[in-house]
Structure 1
Amino acid sequence: MQAGKSPGPTVRQTLRRYRKRVSESKPAVLSLSAADLEAWLIANGAPTYRRRQLSGWIARGAASFEEMHDIPKPLRTALDRQFRLTSLRTVATTQADRGLTSKTLYELDGGHSVEAVVMRYADRSTLCISSQAGCPIGCPFCATGKFPFGRNLKAHEIVEQAMDAVRLLAGESRRLTHVVFMGMGEPMANYQAVVESVRHLAGTDLLGISPRRIVVSTSGLIPRIEQLGGEQLPVTLAISLHAARDELRDVLVPINRKYPLEKLITASQGYAEKTGRRVSYEWVLLAGVNDTERDAKELGRLLRRKLAHVNLIPFNPVEDTPYRAPDRAAIRHFKELVESQGLNVTVRDTRGRDADAACGQLHERVMRERTVAQAARVQGA
Structure 2
Amino acid sequence: MTDLYGLLPEEMEKLVMDMGYQRYRADQILLPLYYKFPKDISEIKQLPKTMREELIKAGYTIGSTKEIHQVVSKDGETMKLLLGLPDDNSVETVLMQYPSTKLFGIPRSTICVSTQIGCAMGCVFCATGQMGFETNLRAEHIVSQVIHFAEILQKRNQHVTNIVFMGMGEPMANYDEMIKAIRILTHPRGFGIGQRHITISTIGITSGIDKLAEEDLQIGLAISLHAPNDKLRKKLVPTAGPNSVQEIIDAGRRYFKKTGRRVTFEYALMEGVNDSIETAMELANLLKGNGSHVNLIPINPTAGDFKRPSTGRVLKFEQILVDAGINCTVRVEKGTEISAACGQLRTDMMN
Q: TM-score, normalised by structure 2?
A: 0.90
Q: CA deviation at 1:33?
A: 4.7
Q: CA deviation at 1:102?
A: 0.5
Q: CA deviation at 1:308?
A: 0.3
Say if 2:280 is the partner of 1:287: no
Distance 2:203 2:335 in 1: 23
1:379 is aligned to none
1:102 is aligned to 79
Structure 1 residues 97, 77: closer, same or farther in 2, change over 3 A? farther
**Structure 2 letter corresponding to 1:329:** G
Q: CA deviation at 1:176?
A: 0.8
SS in structure 2 of the partner of residue 150 of structure 1:
strand
Contact kept, 8 Å, 2:112 with 2:165, in 1: the verdict is: yes
**Structure 2 letter corresponding to 1:159:** V
1:10 is aligned to none
Q: Residues 33-91 of structure 1: CA distance to partner in whole angstroms, max 9, x if unpaired?
A: 54553354346564321211211112114132454443344444554554321111222
1:348 is aligned to 331
Structure 1 residues 61, 314: closer, same or farther in 2, change over 3 A? farther
Unaligned runs of 5+ in 2: 101-107
2:35 is aligned to 60
Distance 1:63 1:121 in 2: 28
Say if 2:287 is the partner of 1:303: yes
SS in structure 2 of the partner of residue 138 of structure 1:
coil
2:46 is aligned to 70
Aligned match for 1:234, one of 218, 222, 246 = 218
Say if 2:194 is the partner of 1:202: no
**Structure 1 letter corresponding to 2:25:** R
1:376 is aligned to none
Distance 1:53 1:230 in 2: 33
Bigger CA drift: 348-357 or 48-57? 48-57
Q: TM-score, normalised by structure 1?
A: 0.84
Q: Residues 164-192 of structure 1: CA distance to partner in whole angstroms, max 9, x if unpaired?
A: 12111111111111110000001111111
Contact kept, 8 Å, 1:102 with 1:118, in 2: the verdict is: yes
- Backbone CA RMSD of aligned residues: 2.0
| Runs of 4+ off more than 6 Å | none
Distance 1:43 1:227 in 2: 32
2:69 is aligned to 92
2:4 is aligned to 29
1:6 is aligned to none
Aligned match for 1:184, one of 147, 153, 168 = 168
Distance 1:99 1:67 in 2: 31
Distance 2:167 2:114 in 1: 4
Contact kept, 8 Å, 1:115 with 1:360, in 2: the verdict is: no
Contact kept, 8 Å, 2:2 with 2:61, in 1: the verdict is: yes
Say if 2:97 is the partner of 1:114: no
Identity across the alignment (%): 36
Structure 1 residues 35, 273: closer, same or farther in 2, change over 3 A? closer
Contact kept, 8 Å, 1:188 with 1:218, in 2: the verdict is: yes
Structure 1 residues 146, 312: closer, same or farther in 2, change over 3 A? same
Q: Residues 265-302 of structure 1: CA distance to partner in whole angstroms, max 9, x if unpaired?
A: 11111111111111001011111111111121111111
**Structure 2 letter corresponding to 1:139:** C
Bigger CA drift: 290-299 or 330-339? 330-339
Distance 2:46 2:243 in 1: 53
Unaligned runs of 5+ in 1: 1-25, 370-381
SS in structure 2 of the partner of residue 311 of structure 1:
strand
1:139 is aligned to 123
Specify which structure has the higher proportion of helix: 1
**Structure 1 letter corresponding to 2:32:** W
1:7 is aligned to none
Aligned match for 1:216, one of 184, 195, 200 = 200
Contact kept, 8 Å, 1:27 with 1:84, in 2: the verdict is: yes
Q: Choose 1 or 2 for highest CA Rg.
A: 1
Q: CA deviation at 1:125?
A: 1.0
**Structure 2 letter corresponding to 1:335:** E
SS in structure 2 of the partner of residue 332 of structure 1:
helix
1:277 is aligned to 261
**Structure 1 letter corresponding to 2:3:** A
Aligned length: 341
Give the alignment of 1:35-54 within 5 angstroms: 36-42=11-17, 46-54=21-29
SS in structure 2 of the partner of residue 329 of structure 1:
helix
Structure 1 residues 347, 59: closer, same or farther in 2, change over 3 A? same
Say if 2:121 is the partner of 1:149: no
Contact kept, 8 Å, 2:165 with 2:199, in 1: the verdict is: yes
